[in-house]
């Protein structure tokens, strides 16, 4: 049986180059297939994107450095609809 959960996860980011800090919300679909396999699918503005925790997945919007500290700051269930 496949279990799917829709979440909104907020991540905070800090550039390790210029110290700029910012936060973004992601729509996340957490899928478990019932056989021990699970996967998270991340979306922003209805477009699928890389997991923000992946190495070099996020660049600083100020200096474009890929060396960014990422922290999950909140998780809420997505509203239906």
Domain residue spans of the chain: 3-77
Question: Cα separation of 53 and 40, whole Å?
Answer: 11
E strand map for 1-81: 3-15, 21-32, 38-44, 47-49, 68-77
CB 13 within 8 A of CB 24: yes
| Whole-prediction pTM | 0.85
State pLDDT tens for residues 34-59: 777 889 999 999 999 999 999 999 99
pLDDT for residue 25 is more than 90:
yes
Question: Cα separation of 60 and 77, whole Å?
Answer: 28
Residue 81: pLDDT band by 50, 70, 90 thresholds? low
**4-32 mean pLDDT:** 96
């Amino acid at each position: 049986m496949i279990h799917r959960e829709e979440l909104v996860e907020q991540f905070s980011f800090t550039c390790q180059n210029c110290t700029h800090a910012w936060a973004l919300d992601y729509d996340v679909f957490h899928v478990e297939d019932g056989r021990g396999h699970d996967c998270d699918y991340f979306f922003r503005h209805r477009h699928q994107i890389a997991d923000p925790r992946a190495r070099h997945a996020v660049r600083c919007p100020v200096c474009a450095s890929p060396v960014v500290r990422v922290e999950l700051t909140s998780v809420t269930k997505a509203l239906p609809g």
